[in-house]
């Protein structure tokens, strides 16, 4: 069992990484392999709606980690997405990355578990948290909860570590994610997953 953690901050070892690292360490303590991948420093363009991914099975742009991470995501049992707060929202580079990652990948994401982790100096965390969770809810990915919203506060890694409640939330998140992954795996083996819709309906709202 393994979880992929995505660091969407431009800073490889900053506040967002510090939060993700706590989650990763707890996952490992619970017997789940964890890997943190840093994408926030890349020049990642947004999706251009070319639909080439439907033909290729991958994003047409192959030089900025999206396809590389997609292969890891396909093999993962869970995904944690971490972002700093910029203007009360997620980092733009990360959103471009996630738009393409989720749209271009043909593999099923059903019942891979997901969680968002947010880091801020002061405010904007809940809006960012909501923004990131939408990627999971559109993909039939159960969202893992903790004992509070998955956020830490601080303007430097050492300040994040002083946020005792935030650090405890991250630890609880890792523990809960490990439990949910194991529970889904047991149920999949015993009874299978819920039946998947075979002919999904897509409705365009027009007059």
- Pairing of the two strands 33-38 and 113-120: unpaired
Q: State the average pLDDT over residues 135-164.
A: 98
Give the Cα separation of 195 and 85 in Å (integer): 38
Number of domains in the chain: 1
Q: How confident is the model at residue 205 (pLDDT cuts 50, 70, 90)?
A: confident
Helix (H) or strand (E) holding 126: helix 125-137
Return mean pLDDT, the chain.
97
Q: State the average pLDDT over residues 94-107.
A: 98
Domain of 57, in residue numbers: 2-191
CB count within 10 Å of CB 89 equals: 15
Question: Does 177 map to a domain?
Answer: yes
Give the Cα separation of 179 and 91 in Å (integer): 29
- Per-residue pLDDT, 62: 92
Q: What are 150-167's pLDDT values in tens digits? A: 999 999 999 999 999 999
Question: Does residue 207 carry a pLDDT above 80?
Answer: no
- CATH number, domain of 35, equals 3.40.50.360
Q: State the average pLDDT over residues 64-76.
A: 97
Q: What are 15-40's pLDDT values in tens digits? A: 999 999 999 999 999 999 999 999 99
Question: Does 137 map to a domain?
Answer: yes
Question: Does residue 123 carry a pLDDT above 70?
Answer: yes
Helix (H) or strand (E) holding 95: helix 92-104
Question: Does 156 map to a domain?
Answer: yes
Share of the chain above pLDDT 70, in %: 100
Question: Does 197 map to a domain?
Answer: no
Contact 111, 46 (CB under 8 A): no
Question: Does 203 map to a domain?
Answer: no
Q: How confident is the model at residue 206 (pLDDT cuts 50, 70, 90)?
A: confident
Question: Does 207 map to a domain?
Answer: no
Q: How confident is the model at residue 107 (pLDDT cuts 50, 70, 90)?
A: very high
Give the Cα separation of 119 and 83 in Å (integer): 6
């Amino acid at each position: 069992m393994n979880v992929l953690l995505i660091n969407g901050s431009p800073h490889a070892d900053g506040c967002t990484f510090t939060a993700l690292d706590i989650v990763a360490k707890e996952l490992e303590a619970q017997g789940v392999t964890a890997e943190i991948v840093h994408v926030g420093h890349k020049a990642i363009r947004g999706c251009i709606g070319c639909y080439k991914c439907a033909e290729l099975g991958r994003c047409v742009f192959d030089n900025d980690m999206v396809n590389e991470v997609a292969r890891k995501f396909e093999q993962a049992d869970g995904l944690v997405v971490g972002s700093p707060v910029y203007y009360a929202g997620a980092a733009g580079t990360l959103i471009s990355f996630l738009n393409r990652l989720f749209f271009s990948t043909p593999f099923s994401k059903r019942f891979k578990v997901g969680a968002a982790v947010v880091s801020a100096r002061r405010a904007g965390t809940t809006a960012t948290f909501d923004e990131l969770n939408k990627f999971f809810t559109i993909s039939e990915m159960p969202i893992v909860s903790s004992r509070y919203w998955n956020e830490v506060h601080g303007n430097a890694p050492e300040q994040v570590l002083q946020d005792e409640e935030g650090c405890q939330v991250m630890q609880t998140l890792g523990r809960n994610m490990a439990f949910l992954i194991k529970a889904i795996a047991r149920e999949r083996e015993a009874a299978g997953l819920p039946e998947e819709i075979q002919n999904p309906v897509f409705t365009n709202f027009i007059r």
